[in-house]
Amino acid sequence: MTKTAAIIGGGVIGGGWAARFVLNGWDVQIFDPDPQAERKIAEVMDNARRSLPGLTDVALPPEGTITFCATIAEAVTGAAWIQESVPERIEIKHTTFAEIQAACAADAVIGSSTSGFKPSELQQGAARPEQIMVAHPFNPVYLLPLIELVTTNADATLVETAKKLLTSLGMHPLHLKKEIDAHVADRFLEAVWREALWLVKDGIATTEEIDDAIRYGFGIRWAQMGLFETYRVAGGEAGMKHFMAQFGPCLTAPWTKLMDVPDFTEELVDLIAGQSDAQSGHHSIRELERIRDNNLVTMMRGLKAQDWGAGALLNAQEAQMRKGTVHGAVAADLPADALVETAHRTVPLDWTDYNGHMTESRYLQAFADATDRFMQIIGCDAEYIKSGGSYFTAETHIRHLDEVHAGATITIRTRVVMGAGKKMHLFHEMQEGERMLATGEHFLLHVSLKTRKPTPPAAHIEEALTRFATGHAGLPVPKGIGRAIGTK
């Protein structure tokens, strides 16, 4: 049975909520008096459809429907979850909650996206104050999983319902049982923001320099391990107590504009160290370091694919490393009668599977990257592709000969089996030292990106390809070439 959610206020946050529900199979009923609401939410939905399904390796359920309603009463009718995302003015929120509760079911969850108001403030004058709770998300709501669920004076059954529903949407309800202005996460953001404003105002750093300090440093650590677990690792084998003993006294130093700090007492040290032990004490410091490193590699490789932040630094480093090596060469620099080295790299942590060795898809990626490098060597580079020509892979055959583990340094050498006209037939050999790990045989056709049909390549590309094909024809025929899967 399809569930229904109501979204009251379809701005950036409300639209994100709508996308999270719809793409997880819920029907959504929206009220927003803005005449541009449908357009804005349609644009949010386009972005969400592009990104959210890629987070999971299991297909999301069929999309729910979106209905735009003329009144709040119409929107909340039949809704199991009602999310208020109206402007941050308490009188507007009180009026909105009154209209919601006049028409909604008594057992529906009413969540507020407020970033600043406490539940007790939202509940003032409400017909059923125990029905209203804070469910504060982070933008983009359809991707970021954290929800600060603040439940002062809330109905216990509704709280459990809210937690289960949020979890079913792939979100993490951080249940705060004691209310405070701005909840938890925004208080951290406010502290950093305030300090950043002082640094800019005092001429210490520019806005870009401050952003670089976050995205190239502690921001990456925080993204996967938070604050206290990051510092626990920084304490080394001695743990959190050692870290606090070493850095705790700095809290009294005049470093920041935020000088209202708790007294640094043994009781405070024991309290935080004890909570830290309960949080992650079941891992040794070495295990935590490996978990941290795995997470950092995965995140930074993701950024690398987008050429953004820390990933852009890695791409720039690679470009520099290629200069003056075979991996920066073009066809004219290389002998025609020798295999072409198209990859020499370390197998990253996130390329391994549950068997502890390189997963099947990564062999294909490694060989595909080698093909891309060979294309660059013969002149089919980014500029050429931009002009309208490229190669499309038509057939691939991979032989898995030996295990490859994370950290292995692999080299791929490429032979041109055939290179004439529209056709390019490559045979890649992947090795670790002298050990043959795998081979990849690939047949490609040159195409026009305008017509998407086979077409002859530019003369300089065909010349370079033919040169290698002629030179490689005199080499010994490798084992496994031309193989296909079959039964005797």
Tell me the domain boundaries of the chain. Answer: 4-176, 185-291, 327-472
Could you report the per-residue pLDDT of 280-331, keeping only the tens digit for each?
A: 888 888 788 878 888 888 888 888 888 888 888 888 878 887 887 778 888 9
| % of the chain residues with pLDDT over 90 | 60
Residues in the chain: 488
Q: Decide if 85 contacts 11 (C-beta within 8 A).
A: yes
Strand partners, 148: 136, 174
Whether the Cβ atoms of residue 142 and residue 51 lie closer than 8 Å to each other: yes
pLDDT at 254: 58
Least confident span in 69-78, 96-105, 201-210: 201-210
Please say whether the dihedral angle defined by the alpha carbons of residues 193, 198, 199 and 203, taken in this order, is positive or negative: positive
Quote the pLDDT of residue 20. 94
Over its C-alpha atoms, the chain yields an Rg (Å, rounded) of 29
Q: Is the pLDDT of residue 432 over 60?
A: yes
* 159 vs 305, higher pLDDT: 159
Q: What is the pLDDT of residue 57?
A: 67
Q: Which residue has the higher pLDDT, 258 or 4?
A: 4
* Pairing relationship of beta strands 81-84 and 66-68 according to DSSP bridges: unpaired
Any idea which residue has 């004890």 for tokens? 274
CATH superfamily of 327-472: Hotdog Thioesterase (3.10.129.10)
Taking only the tens place, the pLDDT of each residue in 384-411 is 999 999 999 999 999 999 999 988 999 9
Tell me: pLDDT of 32 over 60. Answer: yes
Determine the average pLDDT of the residues in 443-453.
97
CATH superfamily of 4-176: NAD(P)-binding Rossmann-like Domain (3.40.50.720)
Both tokens of 112, joined, read 């507020």
3-state secondary structure of 295: helix
Give the model's pLDDT for residue 484.
80
Decide: helix, strand or coil at residue 133: strand
Rounded CA gap, 384 and 376, in Å?
A: 9
Mean residue pLDDT of the chain comes to 90
Q: Give the pairing of strands 409-420 and 423-432.
A: antiparallel
What's the pTM? 0.77
Question: Count of CB atoms within 10 A of residue 147's CB?
Answer: 25
* Tens-digit pLDDT profile for residues 340-353: 999 999 888 888 88
